[in-house]
Each structure stands twice: as C-alpha cells, then as structure tokens.
Amino acid sequence: MAEMFSNALAYEDMMGRWSVRLAPLLVKFAHIGDRGRILDVGCGTGSLAKILAAESSLFEIVGIDPVQAFIEYARAQFTNPRVSFERANALDLPYSQGSFDHALSMLVLMFIPEPEKAAREMLRVTRPGGTVAACTWDRVGLEMTSLFWEEALKLDPEVETRAERPRRLKEPGELAALWRATGLEHVQESTLEISTDFVSFDDYWRPFLKGVGPHGVYVADLSAEQRDTLRDAIRKRLLGDSPDGPFSLRAKALAVRGVVSGAQ
C-alpha cells in the first residue's frame, strides 16, 4: 500500500487542506499540555508536527514515516531544531521503552495492516502517565472521498474489490476498543468535525488524477472514457445543473486518547 503514498507533493495537494484543519482539533483533544517529547507516528508531510511546533516552544517533536519522500518533504518545511523526522515503521518503532512523553497519530492507523501492533508500539515508547492519541476518518465522514466512491460504485459494481480502500477503524467505538485492548487507561473517544472550501470543480477533481491514495490509484486504472464518465457523474453530484463555482465539503474524524498506566 506504500506505493499509493509515494508522491509527497500529490499527497499534500489531495489531503493537505484537510490535515491542516484537523491537526489542531486532534492536539486539543489529546490534552498533552505544553511541554515534552512527542512522537508523531505516520507524520506524512508534517501537518501535525507543524501544529505541535506552533502550539508550544517547549515541545520536542519527532515525526516518523515509512515513505522516504514524505520524510524529505517534511524536513524541507522546518528549520526548527526542536522538530526532526526519521524514516521508520510504526510496527517496529526504533526507540526504547518510555522514550516519549506522548505519542500521536493522525489519519494513519486505518492504513496499517496490523493496527493492534502499532498501538502496542505507541504505548511501549510512551512513558507512564503519558498520552497516546490518534484519529482516523469516519467510514463516510470525508465527503470528498465518500461521494467519489458512491458515484464510482454506481458505474462499477466491482469497485469494492478493485479499490484498495481501508476497511478498519472507521466505525465509532473501534478505536476506543483498540486502545482498551492495548492496555491504555482512561480511554476516551470523540468526533472531530471540519470543513474545507473548493474554488471550483477542477480544484476538487485535479488531485484525484495524481495517483495518490486509494482513489487516485483507482482513477489511474480507468480508461480515459471511464475516467470522464466518473468525472461527469461527480460534477453533477456536486454542482447539479449550476455553473462551476466554489463549494464546501465536510469531514468527520474519530479520535481516541488514553493514558499509559504506571504513573507514580
């Protein structure tokens, strides 16, 4: 699945406008105070790290991601010595037990094949009393992609088997159950809601043509005729018979936080 996230610029064009709005809500929900060493698991292009760095000058932030292109992109965005990025796998974090005060992960766990192992690793590297928090998109909460798949399914009954869409941790309660099973205490789950604006239909459609994410890979595999048919169906869904123009879409993420046991 890493191949569909190999283009950092394309990913930023597709998801950056959402991540920059969601990150502050996750940080607020996590309740991590204003100081400490924080691990950003699956840092991508650095949206969460950027918000954390702006939140407090007393944070030290380490972002990890398995995609080298993302690490290089994120490094280029920062001159702050308190922020660093390393290539690493969430299933085998290269840090000792209790190395961090808190561990956060934004929009990543639903793509990890063994989220249970990733959650255990986040717990392991977080000190007793520290917070482990994460969020994933609700199953139909990201309108940008949910309406895309709805229209694709109308045209292609095999879309569910052809598309490499995440099928885990997208229902209310699933993240909280995972956190409790991992051994975290004081587990709380919440919903984070945002919206973003598009200046035109092309502003919405263009990122889908860059091959990033499950939807981008799906579009790339279509013939030109199939691609045009899907584009026209989605345009009709968004704009109806109205002329092209600006519109807004909503998104809903599921968030969870828990505390590592053992604090004195």
Residue reference for tokens 């229209």:
151
Which segments in the chain show pLDDT lower than 70?
1-6, 161-167, 263-264
Q: What local confidence, expressed as pLDDT, does residue 76 receive?
A: 94
Domains of the chain, residue spans? 2-139+166-197+251-259
The amino acid sitting at 119 is: A
What whole-number distance in Å separates Cα of residue 149 and Cα of residue 45?
25
Q: Identify the CATH number of the domain defined by range 2-139+166-197+251-259.
A: 3.40.50.150
Pick the closest to residue 152 from 249, 230, 66 (CA basis): 230
Exposed/middle/buried for 24, CB within 10 Å: 0-12, 13-18, 19+? middle
Contacts of 242 (CB under 8 A, 6+ apart): none
pLDDT tens digits, 12-24: 888 888 999 999 9
How far apart CA 94 and CA 88 sit, in angstroms, is 7
Residue 167's pLDDT is what? Answer: 67
State the pLDDT at residue 264: 47
pTM: 0.91
